[in-house]
A and B are shown apart, each in its own frame.
Chain A
Amino acid sequence: MWRYLLRTLWQRLLLLVFISIISHGIVHLAPGEPTEVDPMNPMMKAEDIARIRKAFHLDDPFYLQYLDWLRDLFSGNLKSFQNGLPVLPQIWARFLNSLPLFICTTLLVWTLSFPTGIHAAVRRGSRYDRVTTFLAYALISVPSFFLSYLLIMGVVQVLHLPVLGLRTFGSDQLSAVPRAMDSIWHLTVPALMSALAGATGVAVLSRYVRAQMLEVLDQDYVRTARAKGLPEDKVIYDHALRNALLPFVTLFGFLLPGLISSSVIFEKIFSWPGLGQLGYDAIIGRDFPMILTLNFIAAALTLVGIFVSDILYALVDPRIRLQ
């Protein structure tokens, strides 16, 4: 067991280094310059542009730029091209903004998916099943940004309520309870939207639950449980559900990288100043240090996620042993 852990840890670290080198290459190969180099400014001379390029070490050989980045990242000196501030504290601050949205979305996804999925599996072929199937596929097929805008417009036009951002502008002048409620309201709409229509949202997850439950419900031990006269609820929720849960342990591990990647669209649409938006703006502005660091963190999170789900799987399923 310990040998296995150490070995995978070592392999993953090596993999991480390779990922960072490759992503470094991709980022630098992509066309375009950091926006600080603004050739559209008629007052900016070729000398000025060359000077800025030099200040950012953009003309250094590739391996030097990579080593510089690595050294700066681990000494905490890595600065963003765009605002000259250290990268890590910025990422941390945005992470704290993304976290509530992430938690809320995850809670909604996991609490909503199971009842809808289980019910659809139990009443297979019923009108309920067909309606939820239709809705799920509709949510998966219609672009989520489009749905989000429809929802926002509805809220603004009908309810006259602000939706975007972390809180209503000027809400800091309210007293404590309304202020907290205001923040919760601003969290609710994007969380609901990304829970329903997101790439790993209710629409997708409830389908998994349904499929998994259907498979388990056909098993012999379920028939046995029914045959020995157990109440139907006990059969479904104790015997079937527990076994159906196994594959979701793996999915749980993949939640972690979603912190950065899954939030880009919704954070952008709902002006939520989180990690996703940070990454998006960094890419648009060719803020290389920021892109690379976020990339690195996302890769690390993915590897950690896989690692965690491996271990969880071994813990919940006695048939699997790590060697």
Chain B
Amino acid sequence: MSTKRLLLALPVAILALLLQSALWVPTLASQGDATPRRLRTFVKAQVGDTKRLNPIVNSDYDADMLMRSNVFEGLVWPDENLKVAPKLADRWETSEDAYVAILPERRLADGKAATAALLLERIQDARQRALLGGLERSIEGMELVPSEERALTETVLIKNEKGKEEPADVEMTLRVPERVRLRLSKVEPDLFERLAEVLGKDYFAPGAFPERFTLKKPEQLQALRPKLPDLFTVGEHNPILTFHLHPGVRWHDGVPLTAEDVKFTYEAFIDPKNASPQAGSFRSIKSVEVIDELTARITYRRLYSPAIIDWMEPLVPKHALDDGALKREMERRHLSPDERTKLSLRNSDFNRNPIGTGPFKFVEWQPGQFIHLARNDHYWGQPPEYQDFFLRNISDYLSMELEFRAGAVDMYLAQPHQAARYRADSRYHVLPNNDGNYAYIGYNERLPMFQDRRVRKALGMAIDADAIIAYVLSGEGKRCAGPYYSITPYHDPDLKPLPYDPQGALSLLEEAGWHKNAAGKLEKDGKPFAFTVVTNAGNQMRKAIMIIAQQAWLALGIDVKIQDFEWTVFLEDFVETNHFDAVVMAWGGGAINPDQFPIWHSSQTHHYESNHIGYQSAAADELIMKIRTTYDEQEQIKLTRQLDRLIAEDHPYTFIYERQVPYVYDRRTAIVERDAQGVEHPKEIEVPPSGDVLHSFRTWRKFSNAPEPLR
């Protein structure tokens, strides 16, 4: 019957049509023959979606890294030894303008009231008689700066009627008195200490000077008070960075790069309208001046030696994003008046069509699928070997492995257990990418039970970190002992990780007053030792660490519970509000920066600040501030090593491991080397000392056949 036949024929026909398509799809082996261009195309995969391609407003790490290292460029970048190296800036100089306020109410050493003439005379005298301990050689000139009224805006948190903290801009005028300006050829952090020997040792004593401020809304003074001593100081260091841009660099649309772009980038980062997550890095800047087309001069409000590192942030083009450009965009997009007021860098078309100066140009972005970049043939530096670059969004690591094995991905950051599979397979290479990311267990020091250093140390000694690395990380990591990344000079090389010693841990706990009760549980003054460890759900490694730690601590007789929460809940309800006992987390990304202020300074322990565990140490605070204000590299390294050791020996965290993220790629991907005749030879990719596998990316290409064993 016809109905019966139709019912049978229809599914067979549909299935046949669908399944035959498999015969047309190129396999991994045949892809180079099917499309030669494939060998000049690089496909990298990432988990998760991309949001915006504008570095100013980005908060998405992977896509951001892609844009940063390929489409955009900063003034400087980290070289293969993790040192700051020139990029868009050929070179830079550091100098300083130092100001000494003339405050008649302050007495000089001999009891005379300070006046302009007197100060000038004393400083001049000290300079000529070389009383400043060698600093006088840096002084290039000095002059009087008349008094001025300075308009300032500072953002503070003020409680509203509902008791909720809201940001408020405090507008004020600061009456700056007449000052002496010293022009210095380099930054002299000790200048005021030396001058104090000449002018009187209390002359530079800090103070709040509330009478110098006129607030537009006087009721805000209370909220502003903690910030006052920073807003006006008697002696003011203004370090200066002068960048000289590489000549002849053009944006992808052909417009030349100028110092105006540097200035604009700074303004874009700090513009509250853009709400840039990176704004904090640029807040210590006082002004950015354009000296000429290729020279930008950046003046800082105070000593801040890591300043140069912030200029790794990518530059963005002024001509495509300034007010004029946004106005043109409004016209082009026919926006309604309401939309016009809302248009900013956050929602400009630029975010979907970015222009940079880098070796690759942006071509296309299919949200949820891929970002396509193409080689910038007019690149100012060495152009890349690849013609096309795709960053694919793949939802999970298993899918990524499947796509990789099918040849639709050239490289991805594998999970450790996947890497173990690839290491055994001669078709693939695995290179560990060290990104300075370290995992730790943090103890909330606000709780009495964690205030004893010995307790924290004992908790760390109970955990077999080597076993964690071997089994949880499949060996893709190494022990660490302190907050500084082990390959940097900031790390103290003599620092040894905690030994695994449960017995020793037990005796340390006993020393600290915790004894085993009849039930075999630890207690002190009748109170049992009990706490909860939390971490974020979805991260198998952290969960594994949490479980292993729990087992180790249970064995000691501690009553430990564990819980994992979804990421946003975990952050909002536990970490950011400091509402936890112990937490398994990781820090990463700051390897090149000697500054540990946000994570370890005792002032950073409030809600939404990064010293979640409430670590307080006067010695560490002093070292942190000293590191920030030390401009001499060797001196700074000495200080960071002290800090590394100090924090390590305080055991605020149990430092578990520094991870290596294994990059896996097809062996056919290699560095292209050309001999004198221009013949190409593949050379195996190596990891530079900085641990950044992609550092040599520009010289990579895929060859049609795997090169003969290269070693």
- Tell me if B113 is interfacial: C-beta within 8 Å of chain A: no
Q: Is the CB of A84 within 8 A of B165?
A: no
Q: Is the CB of A162 within 8 A of B406?
A: yes
A127-135, A164-172, A216-224: which lies at the interface: A164-172
Q: A163-B402, A237-B3 are in contact. Are A43 and B277 (CB under 8 A)?
A: yes
Among B23, B51, B339, the most chain A Cβ lie within 10 Å of the Cβ of: B51
For B26, give its contact among A107, A168, A191 (CB under 8 Å).
A168
0/1 string, B302-327, CB within 8 A of A gives 1: 00000000000000000000000000
Q: A84-B351, A273-B366 are in contact. Are A168 and B43 (CB under 8 A)?
A: no
Residues in B neighbouring A41, C-beta threshold 8 A? 59, 277
Q: Is the CB of B272 within 8 A of A162?
A: no
Q: Is the CB of A185 within 8 A of B25?
A: yes
CA distance A269 to B394 in the complex (A): 9
Residues in B neighbouring A231, C-beta threshold 8 A? 1
CA distance A37 to B631 in the complex (A): 34
CA distance A49 to B165 in the complex (A): 11
Q: Which of A103-156 contact B (CB under 8 A)?
A: 104, 107-108, 111-112, 114-115, 118, 149, 152-153, 156
Chain A interface residue number, banded: 35 or more
Residues in B neighbouring A177, C-beta threshold 8 A? 24
Among A152, A188, A270, the most chain B Cβ lie within 10 Å of the Cβ of: A188
CA distance A160 to B368 in the complex (A): 24
Residues in B neighbouring A112, C-beta threshold 8 A? 11
0/1 string, B510-553, CB within 8 A of A gives 1: 00000000000000000000000000000000000000000000
- Tell me if B38 is interfacial: C-beta within 8 Å of chain A: yes
Q: Is the CB of A108 within 8 A of B14?
A: yes
Q: Is the CB of A165 within 8 A of B408?
A: yes
We find that the number of chain B residues with CB closer than 8 angstroms to chain A is: 92
Residues in A neighbouring B393, C-beta threshold 8 A? 271
Q: Is the CB of A269 within 8 A of B399?
A: yes
0/1 string, B557-587, CB within 8 A of A gives 1: 0000000001111011101100000000000
Residues in A neighbouring B43, C-beta threshold 8 A? 169-170
Among B49, B351, B610, the most chain A Cβ lie within 10 Å of the Cβ of: B49
Residues in B neighbouring A90, C-beta threshold 8 A? 367
For A161, give its contact among B278, B280, B281, B406 (CB under 8 Å).
B406
Q: Is the CB of A191 within 8 A of B18?
A: yes
CA distance A118 to B6 in the complex (A): 13
Residues in A neighbouring B166, C-beta threshold 8 A? 50, 54, 59
Residues in A neighbouring B19, C-beta threshold 8 A? 188
Q: Is the CB of B569 within 8 A of A31?
A: yes
Q: Is the CB of B399 within 8 A of A271?
A: yes
Q: A156-B402, A169-B390 are in contact. Are A38 and B25 (CB under 8 A)?
A: no
Residues in A neighbouring B575, C-beta threshold 8 A? 39-40
Residues in B neighbouring A39, C-beta threshold 8 A? 571-572, 575-576, 608
Q: Which of A263-318 contact B (CB under 8 A)?
A: 268-271, 273, 277-278, 281, 286
- Tell me if B27 is interfacial: C-beta within 8 Å of chain A: yes
Q: Is the CB of A51 within 8 A of B52?
A: no
Residues in A neighbouring B94, C-beta threshold 8 A? none
CA distance A55 to B278 in the complex (A): 17
Q: Is the CB of A162 within 8 A of B407?
A: yes
Kindly provide the distance from the CB of B371 to the nearest chain A CB, expressed in whole angstroms: 12
Residues in B neighbouring A33, C-beta threshold 8 A? 568, 571-572
Residue of A whose beta carbon sits closest to that of B282? A43
Kindly provide the distance from the CB of B585 to the nearest chain A CB, expressed in whole angstroms: 9
Kindly provide the distance from the CB of A37 to the nearest chain B CB, expressed in whole angstroms: 8
- Tell me if B164 is interfacial: C-beta within 8 Å of chain A: yes
For A160, give its contact among B24, B28, B49 (CB under 8 Å).
B28
CA distance A234 to B369 in the complex (A): 51
0/1 string, B337-381, CB within 8 A of A gives 1: 011000000110001100000000000001111100000000000
For A165, give its contact among B27, B31, B369, B576 (CB under 8 Å).
B369
Q: A32-B572, A149-B398, A160-B28 are in contact. Are A42 and B610 (CB under 8 A)?
A: yes
Q: Is the CB of A161 within 8 A of B25?
A: yes
Q: Is the CB of B598 within 8 A of A42?
A: yes
Q: Which of B103-159 contact A (CB under 8 A)?
A: 155-157
Q: Which of B459-492 contact A (CB under 8 A)?
A: none
- Tell me if B275 is interfacial: C-beta within 8 Å of chain A: yes
Residue of A whose beta carbon sits closest to that of B407? A162
Residues in B neighbouring A273, C-beta threshold 8 A? 366-369
A4-12, A17-25, A75-83, A246-254: which lies at the interface: A75-83
For A52, give its contact among B20, B275, B347, B352 (CB under 8 Å).
B275
- Tell me if B496 is interfacial: C-beta within 8 Å of chain A: no
Q: Is the CB of A46 within 8 A of B157?
A: yes
- Tell me if A243 is interfacial: C-beta within 8 Å of chain B: no
Q: Is the CB of B11 within 8 A of A115?
A: yes
CA distance A255 to B23 in the complex (A): 32
> Chain B interface (Cβ within 8 Å of chain A)?
1, 3-4, 7-8, 10-11, 14-15, 17-29, 31, 34-35, 37-38, 41, 43, 48-49, 51-52, 59, 155-157, 164-167, 272, 275, 277-281, 336, 338-339, 346-347, 351-352, 366-370, 390, 392-396, 398-399, 402-403, 405-409, 566-569, 571-573, 575-576, 590, 598-599, 606-610
Closest 5 CB pairs of A and B: A32-B568, A181-B24, A43-B280, A162-B406, A42-B598
11 A-B pairs within 8 Å (CB atoms) are namely A43-B281, A52-B275, A94-B368, A112-B11, A169-B390, A173-B38, A181-B24, A185-B21, A233-B3, A281-B49, A281-B368
